[in-house]
């Protein structure tokens, strides 16, 4: 499908801001795609990207829900960088889960992936709330992985409690085997999914059971 004039105009507006700041700071970036596909750092662009997330409807001029969701997705990916750590990006990304109307889950994955990278231990309480919020569906899967990586028993329990939600079950089971030290007592919990209708769930259950102690 050809991009609409509105989509082209939205990207042109963002590209103008990226280019202006990049030239001022000697950076090579000119469009959002450059940010998503680089390992280079761009701290000077972070405040502008945060501002765009906050005001995306006004700045982009987009009105179609699908277009807006896809545009936001790119902004979230652009903020998945070390220089967004410790900034307003983290609480702002958390708020993005609760847009009205809500994002399609395929786009809210980008929020979770950004928070998996950016959130720090002091964000635990809010991350645990997000991980336990089933209204977020599969878009919170990366939050569960973050909780496991904190190495806290209460975080692991949040993940275990979500396994009966099919939307996050395969990733939740996979995340359990990343916990250190490997948790005991969970074999029966995981084993019940060896016959799950979802082949990916069965695969992850087998892999996790191979790791878990008796």
Residue 87 above 80 pLDDT? Answer: yes
Share of the chain above pLDDT 70, in %: 100
Arithmetic mean of pLDDT, 59-76? 98
Q: What is the mean pLDDT of the chain?
A: 97
State both tokens at 179: 């916990």
Closest CA to 168 of 194, 140, 192: 140
Q: Are 94 and 125 in contact (CB under 8 A)?
A: no
What is the 8-class DSSP label of residue 177? T
Residue 214 above 90 pLDDT? Answer: no
Q: State the pLDDT at residue 2.
A: 87
Helix axes 65-78, 89-96, angle to 10 degrees: 150
Residue 38 sits at φ, ψ, to 5 deg, of -135, 155
Q: Which residue has the tokens 């008796």?
A: 214
d(CA 25, CA 61): 27
| DSSP letters spanning 103-156 | PPHHHHHHHHHHHHHH--GGGHHHHHHHHH-GGGGGGGHHHHHHHHHTT-HHHH
Arithmetic mean of pLDDT, 191-212? 98
Arithmetic mean of pLDDT, 26-32? 97
Residue 181 above 80 pLDDT? Answer: yes
Q: Which residue has the tokens 């829900």?
A: 65
Residue 14 above 80 pLDDT? Answer: yes
d(CA 85, CA 83): 5
Residue 1 above 80 pLDDT? Answer: no
pTM: 0.94
Q: State the pLDDT at residue 164.
A: 96
Task: Decide which of 214 and 36 is more confident.
Answer: 36
Residue 188 above 90 pLDDT? Answer: yes
122-174 pLDDT, tens digit each? 999 999 999 999 999 999 999 999 999 999 999 999 999 999 999 999 999 99
Q: State the pLDDT at residue 65.
A: 96
The band of 39, judged by pLDDT with boundaries at 50, 70 and 90, is: very high
d(CA 182, CA 163): 17
d(CA 185, CA 153): 12
Q: State the pLDDT at residue 183.
A: 86
Share of the chain above pLDDT 90, in %: 97
d(CA 153, CA 147): 10
């Amino acid at each position: 499908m050809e991009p609409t004039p509105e989509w082209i105009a939205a990207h042109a507006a963002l590209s103008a801001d990226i280019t202006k700041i990049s030239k001022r700071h000697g950076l090579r970036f000119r469009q959002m795609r450059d940010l998503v596909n680089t390992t280079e750092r761009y701290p000077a662009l972070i405040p502008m990207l945060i501002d765009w997330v906050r005001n995306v409807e006004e700045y982009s001029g987009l009105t179609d829900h699908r277009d807006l969701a896809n545009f936001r997705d790119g902004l979230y990916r652009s903020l998945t960088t070390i220089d967004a750590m410790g900034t307003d990006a983290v609480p702002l990304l958390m708020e993005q889960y609760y847009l009205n109307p809500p994002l399609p889950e395929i786009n809210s994955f980008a929020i979770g992936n950004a928070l998996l990278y950016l959130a720090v231990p002091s964000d635990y309480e809010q991350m645990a709330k997000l991980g336990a919020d089933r209204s977020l569906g599969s878009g919170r899967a990366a939050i569960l992985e973050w909780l496991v990586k904190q190495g806290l028993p209460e975080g692991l329990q949040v993940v275990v409690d979500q396994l009966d939600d099919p939307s996050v079950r395969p990733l939740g089971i996979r995340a359990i085997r990343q916990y250190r030290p490997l948790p005991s007592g969970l074999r029966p919990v995981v084993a019940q999914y060896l016959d799950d209708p979802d082949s990916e769930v069965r695969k992850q259950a087998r892999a996790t059971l191979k790791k878990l102690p008796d």
